[in-house]
Every structure is written in structure tokens, then in C-alpha cells.
């Protein structure tokens, strides 16, 4: 019992200590698939960005490095849509599929080492990062929803059908979570959660499987009040808050204009750090698999919200779909100029 309590305390303290080292606020990376495509990858595939783990891992490394260069403190693996079931459907063996999951973390950790080495050698100049020795970087293993595996748009509706129960979801995610938790990542990022049922399945898995690294739960919303399935964001957040393995709760892949109110909603039910990494404001058409410009928000608007989100209680900030290293660089600049450490420096001057 004592060792269990100690592990839970270690999990909760990891994020607290990490944020302290970052100066109170941390920067998460940005859109991954967008950047892979910009570098020439063809990800029009049910595996989406995870396809590059097979075809072009060097591009995965390149995107990680782009975000590290832009000031990210947390880089997320290319495993969002990487599932054993999905890889097997493409003709790979179970063993090969499991190795690709491990490889997604290895690539990310390798990118972090390349970054640190280049910083040490003075190859790059970081205006917002400080020296490599003082800039912490965590690797987060991405876990996408069951709907992401289906690749039929249901990750944006959260509607999986009556035949999909909590046990179905636990069985689907179990082996992937086990592998990702033991492959060298610092935490697991359960992302774009579209319904309460899947959050409950994740929470059960973390407890039942004795997962030793911490996690964050990040939900998605189309209206600033509910997740796509219609469950209240507040009720979903309660599930995350009650799980001792969860060290941060947040929102991703959501229009920036909804984030302010969602942070307020999350703060009603949790004192855990809040992570927000919205998309660009464009709307995804899941049936036709394309992004539609909303015409309501720009990258400049996105970045201008960061101070407001921080004031409402968020601690970790990044971007999701269609955001770029430029977005992350701008967020890092805002946070570095407004961090407690920066404020102390200004007072001394």
C-alpha cells in the first residue's frame, strides 16, 4: 500500500515540478500532420500521421525538432492514430505493430537528444528557451480515441454505436497503453477524447494495469460546453480529476474561441494543471476529410488569447490541428515575457 501511495505522489509531483522548472507555464508542441504534409509526406491513409512511422520516420524527427526549436517544452509522439489493430489491418504482424509503437517514442526521445546536443554546441539560438541545461523537455506518448482508429469521422462525434461498451474500449486500448507506458515516455497524453465513456475506460486502465507514468486527459468540444457525444465537459473532467494517475486535464482540437469558457468550467471541478492546445479555428469535415476555413479566427487571434487563458488558470499551452511551429514560437514568446521569472527580472532592472 505504501509503495502505491508513493507512486501516486510521484506522479502528481512530476507535473508540479516540471512547471516550476519551466517558470510556471509550459509550451506544448503544435499540429503534427500539417507539418508532415508540409515536408512532403502523404498521409491520406487510415493510419494518418502514424503512417510516417513506417514510411518516413526521418520526417517525424524533423517535425519534432522544428517544434523544439520553436520553444516547445512538451513534444507529443506520432502515435495518435498508431494502434496495433490499425497496423495489423495494413498487413503488419502484431509484433511489428508493437515495435512501431515503441519506435514512436524512441524517435521522439532521439529528437530531444539531438536538440540538447545542438544546443550544447551552440548550433541554434533560442530567444525564449534559455540554455539547454535549464530547459526541461518532456516526451508525451499520444493515445488517440477509438474513433481515430475507425477513421470514419466518429472521433469528431464520439458516437461509436450501442455495441461498443466501456469494456470494448478497455480491451481495444489496453495493449497499446501498456507498451507506450514502458517505452521511455515521461507521460501519456490521452487526446481528443470525444465522450465520457472513453474517459472512464482510460481511467480504469490506468488503475487496473498499474501504469507507472502519469497521464493527462484532454477533451474536445464543438460548443464550449459539451464534448462531441453530448456529455458535459464538467462531468468528463470529474472522471479525469478522480483518477490519481492523471496529472493534468485539458482541451485540444477545439476552436480557440471556446477555450476561455472551457477553462472556467474545468476550474470548477479540478485543481490539477490545465492544458490547452486548440486547433487553428478551422472546422474539420470528417466525411470529406478536409479542413474548412471558419473565417472567424487567425493565428494572430489565437496567440492573443494565450494571456487570457493563463489568467483564467491554464498552465500548459500549445496547438493542435493546422497550427505550426510559428504558432508555438509566438506562444513561447508570450509566455516567456510574462512568466514569474521574467517579471522578477524586470523588477531587478
How many residues does the structure list for the chain?
349
The grid cell for 257 is 474561441
pLDDT, tens digit (0-9, with 9 covering 90-100), for 101-148: 999 999 999 999 999 998 887 654 444 444 445 589 999 999 999 999
Residues 149, 83 contacting (CB under 8 angstroms): yes
Q: Which residues pair with 317 in a beta bridge?
A: 27, 276
Interstrand relation of 74-76 and 138-143 (parallel, antiparallel or unpaired): parallel
Q: Which pLDDT value is given to residue 152?
A: 87
DSSP string across 222-273:
SSSSB-TTS-BHHHHHHHHHH-TTEEEEEEESS-GGGHHHHHHHHHTT--S-
Q: Which residues pair with 24 in a beta bridge?
A: none
Give the confidence band of 7 by pLDDT, cuts at 50, 70, 90: low
Of 295 and 174, which is predicted with more confidence?
174
Round to whole Å and give the CA distance between 112 and 116: 6
Interstrand relation of 283-285 and 290-292 (parallel, antiparallel or unpaired): antiparallel
Residues 265, 314 contacting (CB under 8 angstroms): no
pLDDT, tens digit (0-9, with 9 covering 90-100), for 285-305: 656 666 666 656 656 678 889
SS3 315: strand
Q: Which pLDDT value is given to residue 126?
A: 46
Judged against a pLDDT cut of 60, whether residue 344 lies above it is answered with no
pLDDT, tens digit (0-9, with 9 covering 90-100), for 259-285: 999 999 999 999 999 999 999 876 666
Neighbours of 111 (CB within 10 A): 22
Q: Is 22 annotated as a binding residue?
A: no
pLDDT, tens digit (0-9, with 9 covering 90-100), for 186-215: 999 999 999 999 999 999 999 999 999 999
Q: Is 243 annotated as a binding residue?
A: no
Residues 108, 57 contacting (CB under 8 angstroms): no
Ranges of each domain in the chain: 2-348
Burial class (CB in 10 A: 0-12, 13-18, 19+), 291: middle
Nearest to 175 by CA among 91, 47, 82: 82
In 164-202, which positions are buried (b, 16+ CB within 10 angstroms) versus exposed (e)? beeeebbebbbbbbbbbbebebbbbbbbbbbbbbbbbbb
Of 2 and 87, which is predicted with more confidence?
87
Burial class (CB in 10 A: 0-12, 13-18, 19+), 288: exposed
Q: Is 320 annotated as a binding residue?
A: yes
Residues 266, 237 contacting (CB under 8 angstroms): yes
The CATH class for the domain spanning 2-348 reads: alpha beta
Amino acid at each position: 500500500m505504501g509503495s502505491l501511495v508513493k507512486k501516486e505522489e510521484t506522479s502528481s509531483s512530476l507535473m508540479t515540478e516540471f512547471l516550476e522548472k519551466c517558470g510556471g507555464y509550459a509550451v506544448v508542441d503544435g499540429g503534427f500532420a500539417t507539418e508532415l504534409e508540409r515536408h512532403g509526406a502523404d498521409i491520406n491513409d487510415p493510419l494518418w500521421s502514424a503512417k510516417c512511422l513506417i514510411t518516413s520516420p526521418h520526417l517525424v524527427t524533423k517535425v519534432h525538432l522544428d517544434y523544439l526549436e520553436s520553444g516547445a517544452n512538451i513534444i507529443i509522439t506520432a502515435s495518435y492514430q498508431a494502434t496495433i489493430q490499425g497496423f495489423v489491418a495494413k498487413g503488419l504482424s502484431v509484433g511489428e505493430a508493437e515495435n512501431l509503437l515503441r519506435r514512436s517514442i524512441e524517435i521522439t526521445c532521439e529528437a530531444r537528444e539531438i536538440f540538447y546536443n545542438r544546443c550544447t554546441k551552440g548550433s541554434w539560438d533560442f530567444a525564449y528557451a534559455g540554455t539547454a541545461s535549464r530547459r526541461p523537455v518532456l516526451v508525451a506518448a499520444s493515445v488517440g480515441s477509438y474513433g481515430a482508429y475507425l477513421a470514419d469521422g466518429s472521433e469528431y462525434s464520439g458516437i461509436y454505436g450501442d455495441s461498443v461498451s466501456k469494456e470494448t474500449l478497455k480491451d481495444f486500448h489496453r495493449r497499446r497503453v501498456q507498451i507506450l507506458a514502458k517505452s521511455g515516455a515521461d507521460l501519456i497524453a490521452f487526446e481528443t477524447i470525444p465522450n465520457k465513456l472513453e474517459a472512464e475506460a482510460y481511467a480504469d486502465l490506468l488503475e487496473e494495469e498499474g501504469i507507472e507514468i502519469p497521464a493527462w486527459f484532454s477533451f474536445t468540444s464543438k460548443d464550449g460546453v459539451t464534448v462531441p457525444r453530448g456529455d458535459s465537459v464538467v462531468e468528463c473532467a470529474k472522471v479525469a480529476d478522480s483518477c490519481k494517475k492523471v496529472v493534468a486535464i485539458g482541451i485540444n482540437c477545439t476552436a480557440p474561441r471556446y477555450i476561455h469558457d472551457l477553462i472556467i468550467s474545468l476550474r470548477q471541478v479540478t485543481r490539477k494543471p490545465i492544458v490547452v492546445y486548440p486547433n487553428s479555428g478551422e472546422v474539420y469535415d470528417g466525411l470529406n476529410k478536409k479542413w474548412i476555413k471558419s473565417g472567424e479566427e487567425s493565428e494572430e487571434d489565437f496567440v492573443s488569447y494565450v494571456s487570457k487563458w493563463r489568467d483564467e488558470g491554464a498552465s500548459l499551452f500549445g496547438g493542435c490541428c493546422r497550427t505550426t511551429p510559428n504558432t508555438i514560437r509566438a506562444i513561447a514568446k508570450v509566455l516567456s515575457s510574462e512568466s514569474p521569472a521574467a517579471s522578477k527580472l524586470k523588477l531587478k532592472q
